Chain A
């Protein structure tokens, strides 16, 4: 109680310090005056009385000093005083302070943004309960496949059921499949083409996701195919289409023509089982066959029964205490058991368990490279910024060595002095942290403008982790670099300190700083070279022929199943449609395709066996991308035939099955010529198809991908429900869109038309946007790195000039020309620059070598390297020139006089 009271008393005293001092003064002077009066009364003359009184009183100043700790909180007072002083001295030397703050802010701000980027793309955990317990179960396909293929690690429903019943490592195992349907509120609203998930019964329970409203469905409701049409709405979808109406539970919706009952709404935080695929709705897996059947999908009834129809991704929650390795081992064992029990479908198929991050990297291998290279940039930038800050504080220490020595001589304690010097660091840390927050915010804003495919949801946030990261790193790096110089410069070696001009710093220290500057230059050179290389590849890729026409083409997704057509009717609809659409003015040609390039929609993968290839039992064929196209496709897309022919109208259900392959496929499997060869397609238990033509390899998913094999089959021979209409148009494609829609609706107003986009939009959003941002980011980061390195060099040369002022003065006095002085400094700087650039260039070549594997074509263009090197050299020399010229223009007399 006493302590608290005392503290408050002191606090009051500290806050009203000035007044407290004044009051004490007054008290003392009153006391003195009374003493004086007494003495005068006793007969002393006034002057003597005053002096006597003073003496009797005792040292007033000392009294005040001694009272201060009792009246005020000296600890805090000290800190405040230090900070004020630090602010003052920083303002007097804004150059250095600014350099430090900007260095840190840029580096850390950008890095925080990159951290958030990596988080949004890769690291963000699934929005479920205890996400670290949730892992993925992959089915391992033994067949030969390209690294870029996705979706080959899924399970079939019977397989999943087996795993679910046999695996002991999991608390719960769930399967899901993403599916696109046409959904409308049954009260007759418009149809929306949405993406959602088919999920196994206990999905929500295992994931630990509590619905925001209503309930999730149960295992019971997922037991009999077609019996329980229940549905859980995704939160975002519920907000946008159902107006966030909480009475939605119990309402009916129309899904592909079937009636479902809404039983619940997912919480806002849950966007789906996959990070990138947003779920607008969730229905039980057992409703899958009904949904697919409603759109005439030929495989509907096989959906749950066929052991080799691998549609489902599987995730599970590990039991307490079970590790991923253990689960993985068990999975392999179960897979082996299945392989021997079902040799037809499961031979040599393995299984393994992976973490979420692992899965994401597998699914999007580009991501791994992207994140790695970004982190490389992060680290380099951070190091460079830290080096600058270190430099700054070293210089400051050096500049103030005299002041420090004097303070030490006057009796300041070393601790006190270090606190004083570090307080400058604290101010800079705070300013830097604030500024870097702004930079991060801006950068994240830029990232958020990336728009990829509709179905994919990306979100980059300035979340608390980013903020914490930013602040922590700013503060840590500044203090880390403020402390050692502060400690070093306050070493109580007074004799050395008070001598003003340390004749050329102890060799070791200067060498250290030269190494620092060289390293900075090397780092930024490496970064610049790499980004320039990337930009080169990217620009080339952009300009290169993607293998199809992008301008003047319009695409539209169609869903005739919504009009209630039966499968046979759908084919007639499509045939008819293409003819009608082709008649619309300004349309040069129209075609249909199941999937278009650079789009993830309806991405088809199939396993084929090329003629003459025997696949040893583990492998059951070659996994390739497949597109089902009509006979106008190649013409409309501007794809020329390299060999043989394209799909023709004569390819009908009753004629031999034909297939067209791309050059990559031909080169890989039929190097001597593909036309006339055969391959076996999987449908209908194995169909033999003849290769009738070869087309150039076009970009499938990304403009910087390596060539990927692809095959095309005829629409007439492989009926499909969901097709994309592609039209080649004279003039502005979007202007013709309404005309086309009219034609379609005239034929049948209930046909679903979705996602009308021009091909150039598809091209842009397909991969260009993302790459553009990556390119811009790396360039920006490299430029930042360059600025930092230049600042570092400038600081170094300035420091040298400053500490050698006397020497310069002497030289000039002895007859050296200004030019010689200039050359002297430039030579030094030049050496540092050249060494740094050389090292940086070699680093970048090394790094480029690593990147080459995935990022085809990041080979080193020597001309580019030389260009970048030249640019760096000139900028670094320019940076060094400024202080060097200052040196050259020193007045020798002033220099000699100067201390």
Chain B
């Protein structure tokens, strides 16, 4: 698959993190990375560290909140959870994504019709 453009990637990554947290509840960085890896089926070749870039962005916008907890291997880790405004943002993003893909889909169908 062709490498995806970084800006699109950024936005998409943020969306995926939000969705992951929405679906699975509070996760730490490693957990989020695993979830994304799982769902995308390793297609998105990302460094694990980029999760943190997304997380910091999201926390800055107030869409997720963090709390310290203990990880599976008994170490201190920050757990992130989606906030109410985060959920609203997620809905917004889902809407616009559906709309976008709908439109593109129609175009592609058009092409197909020819």
Contact = CB atoms under 8 A, between A and B. Distances in A.
Interface of A: 2, 5-6, 9-10, 23-24, 26-31, 33-35, 37, 56-60, 63, 66-67, 70-71
Contact of B30 (A6, A9, A35, A66): A35
B48 A56 contact: yes
A37 B74 CA distance: 12
Given A35-B48, A71-B56, A27 B61 contact: no
Contact of A63 (B49, B71, B72): B49
B50 interface: yes
Interface of B: 28-30, 33, 47-50, 52-53, 56-57, 59-62, 71-73, 75-78
A24 B48 CA distance: 14
A63 B73 CA distance: 23
A10 B60 contact: yes
B49 A9 contact: no
Of A5, A30, A60, A66, most buried by chain B (CB within 10 Å of CB) is A30
B48 A31 contact: yes
B55 to A, nearest CB: 9
| Interface of chain A, main secondary structure | helix
Contact of B47 (A5, A28, A57, A71): A57
Given A27-B52, A63-B53, 20 more contacts: A6-B61, A9-B59, A10-B60, A26-B76, A27-B28, A28-B52, A29-B75, A30-B28, A30-B30, A30-B75, A30-B76, A30-B77, A31-B28, A31-B30, A34-B71, A37-B73, A57-B47, A58-B48, A70-B53, A71-B56
Contacts of A59: 49
Contacts of A6: 60-61
A23 B78 contact: yes
A267 B27 CA distance: 72
Contacts of A71: 56
Given A35-B30, A57-B47, A70-B56, A5 B77 contact: no
B26 to A, nearest CB: 14
Closest 10 CB pairs of A and B: A58-B47, A58-B49, A63-B49, A34-B30, A30-B77, A30-B75, A9-B60, A57-B48, A31-B30, A70-B56
Contacts of B62: 2, 5
Contact of A67 (B48, B53, B77): B53
A67 B29 CA distance: 15
Contacts of B76: 26, 30
Nearest to B32: A31
Contacts of B28: 27, 30-31
Contacts of B60: 5-6, 9-10, 70
Contact of B29 (A10, A27, A37): A27
Nearest to B33: A31
Contacts of A60: 49
A742 to B, nearest CB: 90
A351 to B, nearest CB: 75
Contacts of A29: 75
B47 to A, nearest CB: 3
Given A6-B61, A58-B50, A70-B60, A34 B78 contact: no
A179 B39 CA distance: 101
Contacts of A66: 53
B113 to A, nearest CB: 42
Nearest to A37: B73
Contacts of A26: 76-77
A26 B29 CA distance: 12
A59 B50 CA distance: 10
A70 B57 CA distance: 7
